Structure 1
Amino acid sequence: MPELIFRRATRADLEAIVDMLVDDYIGAKREDGSRPLNARYVAAFAAIEADPNQFLAVVEEDGEIVGSLQLTFIPGIARLGMWRGQIEGVRIKTSRRGSGLGHKMFDWAIAQCRAKGCELVQLAMDKTRTDTLRFYESLGFKASHEGLKLDLSK
């Protein structure tokens, strides 16, 4: 079995990350897979790269990007100043879905949160992703809070 390499994303990885964002029934409606890359992706990458509490990760196998996720480390005053790890933008290349890669990605991401001193890991997901919810629950995540979003793009 080929070795998986978990590492910080570079600008050279951005097209592969965007391709995985687009290759999804929700992402296909809201992402832009055109080339050259939409300047908003490039600007977002630069902001993430400059922020020490952001970690855009890729998973590489045999020189190919097969997964990606973003970690955000959030300091807080509540809960005695507890740090939280936020996991977002989890994507796995279509050909690798169902292979156990998701479990390995979450094991890695949770270990990164622990190493940063986080005492809680949180994530949000679209409610229509029922398979994803079952997967997260199998990892021990609990739907303990309700979340709301306000779309400011319109």
Structure 2
Amino acid sequence: MAAAKPDSNFSPEIVALYCRQCLDAEERPQEGARPAKGFNARLVMLPCSGKVEAYQMLRILEQGADGVLLVGCPENACRFLVGSRRAEKRLTHAGQLLDLVNMGAGRLALKRAADLTTADILALAGQLAERVKTLGPNPMKGDSL
């Protein structure tokens, strides 16, 4: 998909799905909307990133988000053994489907990390938001399918 002309007023909406095992032991889990500089984020805690199916990531985009960030455990640190690998495969599949319909796999991102704070997750969402700005707003935003 060709890069869209950047719109200085475009503030991407990023949904960050994160594994609860990725949090620092002292960090209190946070969920809900978080306005940030240049984008809006919605944090959603999961029992494991491997629980997310490809269709669920696509559904989030269908409902108007501009990007989906999936934060999983480091590959060899998953309590469910293969959760982060499963998440990577599902995200790759969802990205292939987005490329097929010319929306761009760049709307999806997977990061593996441990001992994160809410600020760290927001920073990762901000990185995705910068990439999504080059793609432009989600073309399905506002459509009733």
* TM > 0.5 fold call: no
Larger radius of gyration: 1
Q: So what's the TM-score if we normalise by structure 2?
A: 0.31
Q: So what's the TM-score if we normalise by structure 1?
A: 0.29
Structure showing greater relative contact order (alpha-carbon pairs closer than 8 Å, 6 or more residues apart): 2
